[in-house]
Amino acid sequence: MDVFPQYPGRIEVICGPMFSGKSEELVRRTRRCVYANQKTIIFSRDTRYGKGLLKTHSGNECKALFANNAEEILTHDLKGVDVIGIDEGQFFGDQLSRVCTELSSQNIRVIVAGLDMDFECKPFENIALLMGIAEHVTKLSAICMSPGCGSPATRSYRTTKAVERVLEGSKDIYIPLCRHCYENK
């Protein structure tokens, strides 16, 4: 990881397609902060495993506070908080970059994990904007699940006919594909 400035307030983005390990990396980074005795809070909008729990596809889990949108994060008592993690950032609305900037200006390290693109390969605007202002961006890839491929996957392919942009799901609805396999579906 790059060397950061002496000030703790900064924005980090972890992005990529479904099944690339975004939440896993968020949990890893925030656990290191907890080990360093930094007061850490994670926010999530994902309720697939119940409110108050962030669970990764690999089975790791940690406590998380529920927030409907980015502005709701600011309604929590953040006194003395050193690090804020935000999982599934694409669900947090168009105020995400403003809220993250406000938090980082208060010397809070903000780590956001989220999809960079939807199932049609259109960027999630709030994540794209956040990537532009972040001090550090980590773009992860998954493994292409097209039979016989195995290339780095950068796309989230929806296996259902549903057309709404936001559709929470897992392996029952999405598979990661590389650019070539995605374009040939």
Q: Which residue has the tokens 């007061």?
A: 39
Does residue 88 carry a catalytic annotation?
Answer: yes
The tokens of 114 are what? 């989220």
Alpha carbon distances (Å) from 150 to 14, 44, 80, 101, 177: 22, 30, 45, 38, 9
The tokens of 13 are what? 């983005």
Instruction: Out of 88, 120, 135, 164, pick the active-site residue.
Output: 88
Q: Which residues are catalytic?
A: 88
